[in-house]
Chain A
Amino acid sequence: MAIFRSHVLVCGGTGCTSSKSQLVRARFEEKIKEVKLDKEVQVVGTGCFGLCEEGPIVIVYPEGSFYSRMTVDRVDEIVEEHLLKGRIVEKYLFKEKAKVEHAEEHKSLMDVQFYSKQKRVALRNCGLINPENINEYIARDGYMALGKVLTEMTPEDVIKLMKDANLRGRGGAGFPTGVKWSFAAPNKADQKYIICNADEGDPGAFMDRSVLEGDPHAILEAMAIAGYAIGATKGFIYVRAEYPIAVHRLHIAIDQARELGLLGKNIFNSGFDFDIETRLGAGAFVCGEETALMQSIEGNRGMSRVKPPFPANKGLWGKPTVINNVETLANVPQIIINGPEWFKSFGTEKSPGTKVFALGGKITNTGLVEVPMGTTLREVIYDIGGGCPNGKAFKAVQTGGPSGGCLTSEHLDTPIDYENLAKVGSMMGSGGMIVMDEDNCMVDIARFFLDFIVDESCGKCTPCRVGTKRMLSILERIVSGNGTMEDLDELESLANSVKDSSLCGLGQTAPNPVLATLRYFKDEYIAHVVDKKCPAKHCKALLTYEIDKDKCTGCTLCARKCPVSCISGTVKNPHEINQELCIKCGNCYSVCRFGAVQKN
């Protein structure tokens, strides 16, 4: 095998791919060949590094130089200076690292503040290995856990170990994985199934996608381990068709694992057979719910059903089935190799381990982070995420997507775990974390999530189908300025009814954003209803644009830009907006150079 003296790692996650990292990678390969370094320098495509905000990201080893916001035209300089002459091109380094003067003083990537507070277990290989090369996974102890399980442990041992580790389901509900496996193991059946739930549907969440893109073999290995533990020989990965890169890499990974005999018949000569197929979801949110997911795999319309019977007893095609989320599975091989005590050394007593969060919304470092459970929201949002950009004030953070709730600045010091988040009216959820600043209207946020739910409700049970629709129409009334105080009471009682009487998790959690905003931001609701004002100046119907006569210089720019010509005035004289004609598009506000247009 050829040994290279330098590796150029180019992120090939979805975030960096959409900012054209493929072109950067192609140019590196081309230029390196041009200067005849192709025998010395290897270009490697990887999964997500996590700091998506700074993408496309390129890391050059052995120095570990972290180049951010790469463009094709910077490639030549880096090849000529760094790879050919050993001079790191400081001006293109990630800003936090740009001060480093010599290669000798170059610090490790983990010294960047974004990474220093993180603990990467599920993401340990993301951004470090080439996900399309099984050897790189094996070099990082890949498939050692499966080997250990098949050659040294009984299925009972595996389940006991998982119970001891107390790994809780990372899809959001937090059910202990070992216990789930122990329900399915004793059931006698001619066929059992393992399903990996990769139907990540929360707006703004991309944890599972990044794991599948960056470390697909970890999921295959974990599924085989789970299969051995419960006696299943067949696995399905239910993944969204909107994740083409993840699907592509999974297929490559499955082929490579089959070729090496890590999937298939008689793995490790133990007599254990296991194989995996993918099933592509069409993007219905409800298919993340396990009973609906199984319906979809069976070829039916994705609709949830009553539980019990639980999947562990009657699951896919009526056979005992275990369904685990991607991130949950990503932890499994590490727990097997390092033991339950190691796993429990991170996190809190009731929620051991780490959790991956997708940071999004009004936050400086948009991206993917993994922290020990018990880390506070403040550490995640400020120390790692860098706070709200442009000096805006933090207002709230939505955890758990459309099923979760928002938390305010008074909760910033809450240590994150399943119980703590539930106690303050939100939930862990799968790990989406959307940060909102002073410009976000909380009533409109509740409306946004409910709008999503109304679209995604499968329609099987009335509370969810009709209840969420009625809640949405009340919210729409409120944001358009036609709400009443009675509406608020009705909204709350309706929300509680939907929560209590819906069939599945989708409906039971759908009112959470409404209930949480009613609990913490009732004043904003009242402002909309009573004063007919939107405190965040977001809801169009409740806004007026006016021109301050003292500041207006009569430059006529706003009048020329107004799409409905509702601004009148002559050159060098103050202008005026005709409120009846104004459509509140905000054009005048954004073009005025003198700050004369006021939004109220």
Chain B
Amino acid sequence: MKSLEELKRIREEAIKNVEMRNTDKDIRVVVGMATCGISAGARPVLSTFVEEVAKRNLNNVQVVQTGCIGMCTYEPIVEIYTPGKEKVTYIHVDPEKAKRIVDEHLVNGIVINEYTIGTAK
């Protein structure tokens, strides 16, 4: 170890791995991972969220899975909870959409209306 900078570089990399164990986060991304969600392709969606959130060091975002939300025809469903704001429900999410949701919603705070459940009605 030759400098503090070298240590900090190792730390930046290492944080990505342990950051998940901090449960004290504001924004929660919940991916429906029941049989219906999984068969509709929720697993790659979940992995995309996990990877993108780590890549961008979004330390305030927690990605969790949940069971059946009850609207199996709209799966994969992703719900985003932000304190003080209404819950946003995205439907028919795929890895591409997930990347855009991270970009626009999680990073910039802009809800992508065209993906939300409102459009289905």
Chain A residues with a Cβ under 8 A of chain B? 1, 3-7, 9, 40, 61-64, 84-87, 102-104, 108-109, 128-129, 135-136, 138-144, 147-148, 151, 260-262, 267-269
Contact = CB atoms under 8 A, between A and B. Distances in A.
B66 interface: yes
Contacts of A5: 46-47, 50, 63, 65
Given A86-B34, A108-B24, A136-B17, A3 B51 contact: yes
Given A5-B47, A104-B28, A136 B18 contact: yes
B85 interface: no
A40 B31 CA distance: 14
A98 B65 CA distance: 19
B121 interface: no
Given A62-B23, A104-B28, A138-B11, A1 B1 contact: no
A108 B23 contact: yes
Contacts of A61: 20-21, 23
B54 interface: yes
A87 B67 contact: yes
Those 8 A-B pairs whose CB atoms lie nearest each other, nearest first: A86-B65, A139-B14, A86-B33, A5-B50, A64-B23, A261-B1, A135-B14, A87-B67
Interface residues of B, number: 39
Contact of A151 (B4, B32, B47): B4
Interface string B10-50: 11011111111101100010111111001000000011001
B119 interface: no
A138 B35 contact: no
B15 to A, nearest CB: 5
A304 B88 CA distance: 69
B1 to A, nearest CB: 4
A85 B65 CA distance: 8
Given A1-B13, A104-B30, A268 B35 contact: no
A139 B23 contact: no
Contact of B17 (A85, A128, A139, A268): A139
B18 A129 contact: yes
B74 interface: no
B115 interface: no
B21 to A, nearest CB: 5
DSSP class of A's interface residues: helix, strand, loop or mixed? loop
Given A1-B13, A269-B2, A103 B23 contact: no
B24 to A, nearest CB: 6
Contact of A86 (B7, B47, B62, B67): B67
Nearest to B49: A5
B3 interface: yes
Contacts of B81: 104
A268 B2 CA distance: 4
B4 A138 contact: no
A87 B34 contact: yes
B56 to A, nearest CB: 12
B24 A7 contact: no
25 contacts: A1-B16, A3-B16, A3-B51, A4-B17, A5-B63, A5-B65, A7-B21, A61-B20, A62-B64, A85-B34, A103-B66, A103-B67, A104-B28, A104-B81, A109-B23, A128-B21, A135-B17, A136-B17, A138-B10, A139-B11, A139-B17, A147-B7, A260-B10, A261-B2, A269-B3
Nearest to A139: B14
A16 B24 CA distance: 26
Given A6-B65, A128-B21, A151-B4, 4 more contacts: A1-B16, A103-B67, A109-B23, A135-B14
B47 A40 contact: yes
Contacts of B4: 144, 147-148, 151, 268
Given A86-B65, A103-B66, A7 B20 contact: yes
Nearest to B62: A62
A85 B50 contact: no
Contact of B14 (A7, A104, A138): A138
A262 B28 CA distance: 37
Given A138-B10, A139-B11, A151-B4, A1 B66 contact: no
A269 B4 CA distance: 10
